[in-house]
Structure 1
Amino acid sequence: MRHIVKAALAAAMLALPAAAEPAPGGPLTIERQGSFFIGGREVKADALSTLPAYAPSGTITVDQVYVRYQVPAAATGRPLVLVHGCCLTGKTWETTPDGRMGWDEYFLRRGHPTYVVDQAWRGRSAASPVGINRVRSGKAPPDELPTVFSAGHEPAWAIFRFGAEYPQVFPGMLFPLEAQEEFWKQMVPDWLNSLPTPNPTVPALADLAQRLGGAVLVSHSQSGIYPFQAAALNRAGIAGIVSIEPGACPAATGDMAPYKGLPILVLWGDYVDLSPRWAPRLKGCRDFAAAANAAGGQVENAVLPEMGIKGNSHMLMQDRNSLEVADWLAGWLARKVGPKG
């Protein structure tokens, strides 16, 4: 099977254009950088450990969201909060698998403070071991084990639209498959189905936007719906929404009041109509955009190949033309959201 994959990749590489030119280069002056957590709650539990060296009972903090930020000198743009999708972490927005500039640095160079988060119970936002240890210690039955999943390379291949199925490659597809081994290292176990309701990431995003005094929430895939849910909770700090290939948009039959007058972009890559997973989601977002705009919204549903930008996978922020897409998005932000308040 490996020689088949290599042959498919070699053919795909010949069809690919050269990588995009770097964003504005030269020394990068950062006014400040750091990290913090937002949200979180204390939980007392009796199953923190099954090891003799660590007490089973005690208090831990859960549901917090890790935030890593960088603020450029003389910032001109709105803060961008970058939220990753399924089975990934904030690494999504950093250096690409083949070593090119990530969107966190690109938008920083374009004058936007960037805030990269790890969703609750993901990456540096700690998960709770209590559900597992309660079963392991006999305090709960096996059917109460929390649900945790990982996306295997083969099924993820089609989900990320590298090709219709593993190891096929869509013609002209722009993801750097020669660096796929580095990409697969980004993937982590996903606790989504074990989280409380509402997902703790959602109120954390609303709180973070308010703390920043007017931020654009930029989400991807699994997290695509989160900015909409955050706006429904508290729109006060949300200056705009960019939802990249969301797993779902708000229902077209729902309440559109939270989105009235709010600049919203729903952005799609290529090959969507060829995917039984993604084609219905695009249709649902088109329906949402129509309903929201009829109610006074400012929703744009943008499909890159319809604008002449072709070949993008689901991971368009890591594709070979990622900076071309980022440049287009920077223009949209300048036109629709405007400079920092």
Structure 2
Amino acid sequence: MSEETSKPLRRQLAAVALAGGLMTGAAAAEPLGPLTIARQGSFFVGGRSVASDTLSTLPAYAPSGTIAVDQVYVRYQVPVEAKRPPVVLIHGCCLTGKTWETTPDGRMGWDEFFVRAGFPTYVIDQAGRGRSAVDPSAINAVKTGKAAPETLPPVVSAGQEPAWAIFRFGPKYPEVFPGMQFPLEAQGEFWKQMVADWAATLPTPNPTVPALSELAKTLDGAILISHSQSGIYPFQTAALDRAGIRGLVAIEPAACPDPAKDDMAPYRDLPILMLWGDYVELAPRWAPRLKLCRAFVEAANKAGGKAELVLLADVGLKGNSHMLMQDRNSLDVAAWLTAWLDAHVPPRKP
């Protein structure tokens, strides 16, 4: 995008930010006034009950009983006189809904930004993560000798050193990309957000997918905004059932639908945005994924879709890491995204 072409877009970004009661740039670190909401709360979607006789190995707790698993925790805030569609924020690997909350260095998170901008905002913990329960039965079955050790579930924790390159703070630990926007002075707080990831132990499709479908229908229309590992989930949700889905935003998705294998029909006439940060072509893990997502956008649009792939550097937002919702310019990115949503997923007429 040329400098001349990008000027109207930047003016639109600034106008959207001001309309939402926020400033762009460095001044965006603090809100201009109190946060006023109509209501807030939490609930679960999805889930099923399972009976097990290996729920506990502690004498004080019975080993047999019924538990709920595969449910998805949802926290929400609804602004007064909400003027934009609901958004659902879906975190990635080894993280929880904390991804979207206050940044590691204490600035406003996207959950608050979108509420201030007039979006009812729903933040989830994926199935098997955070406040969404895991099933301990397989572990306890091995501990009590009822199952072989090789049946233990494959649980993953991401080490800080390898995660450094995955999150594109730099090419390898502890090197830093020049101009990179993530607040590394607060990296200690960021690493505390990392949790064990049970995704590989869950059914296929991941239970988060049908739960997102249920949530979108409950909200009578929502924009699904995913990140990284969860990037594919909104596409899988649309393939399962388009009902309730008003738009998809995949932020640096770990996978996109494969035009060589997947049906493009579910994405016809659906506003879709793939949003990418900086240094992607320098990252062996991410460059092939960007290439596949570009192929998806081309195939989806040939099938009647409304898909778009945007590199933030091409619209004047440079230096973004994989954790672009926590970077120093995160509210500028959120304001740009709000402008895109207004242009492609306008509010319903009363």
Q: Please indicate the TM-score interval, normalised by the length of the shorter structure.
A: over 0.9
* Distance in 2 (alpha carbons) for counterparts of 1:340 and 1:176: 38
Count how many residue pairs are aligned between Structure 1 and Structure 2. Answer: 324
Instruction: Determine which of 308, 316, 322 is the counterpart of 2:316.
Output: 308
1:1-341 to 2 correspondence within 5 Å?
19=26, 21-22=28-29, 25-253=32-260, 254-340=262-348
3-state SS, counterpart of residue 223 of structure 2: strand
The alignment yields a C-alpha RMSD, in angstroms, of 1.0
* Distance in 2 (alpha carbons) for counterparts of 1:24 and 1:114: 17
3-state SS, counterpart of residue 28 of structure 2: coil
Unaligned runs of 5+ in 2: 1-24
What is the letter of the counterpart of residue 141 of structure 2?
A: R
Cα offset, 1:20, TM superposition? 5.2
What is the letter of the counterpart of residue 218 of structure 2?
A: R
What is the letter of the counterpart of residue 276 of structure 2?
A: W
What is the letter of the counterpart of residue 178 of structure 1?
A: E
Cα offset, 1:252, TM superposition? 1.4
* Distance in 2 (alpha carbons) for counterparts of 1:340 and 1:182: 39
What is the letter of the counterpart of residue 170 of structure 2?
A: G
CA change 1:166–1:183 in 2 (3 A) is same
3-state SS, counterpart of residue 242 of structure 1: strand
What is the letter of the counterpart of residue 105 of structure 1?
A: E
TM-score (structure 1 length as normaliser): 0.94
Unaligned runs of 5+ in 1: 1-17
* Distance in 2 (alpha carbons) for counterparts of 1:169 and 1:286: 27
What is the letter of the counterpart of residue 119 of structure 1?
A: Q
Runs of 4+ in 1 over 3 A off after TM superposition: none
* Distance in 1 (alpha carbons) for counterparts of 2:30 and 2:79: 15
Give yes or no for contact 1:220–1:246 (8 Å, CA) kept in 2.
yes
* Distance in 2 (alpha carbons) for counterparts of 1:116 and 1:340: 22
- CA deviations 1:227-273 (Å, max 9, x no partner) are 00000011110000000000010001221110000000000000000
Give the equivalent residue in structure 1 for 2:21.
Answer: none
TM-score (structure 2 length as normaliser): 0.91
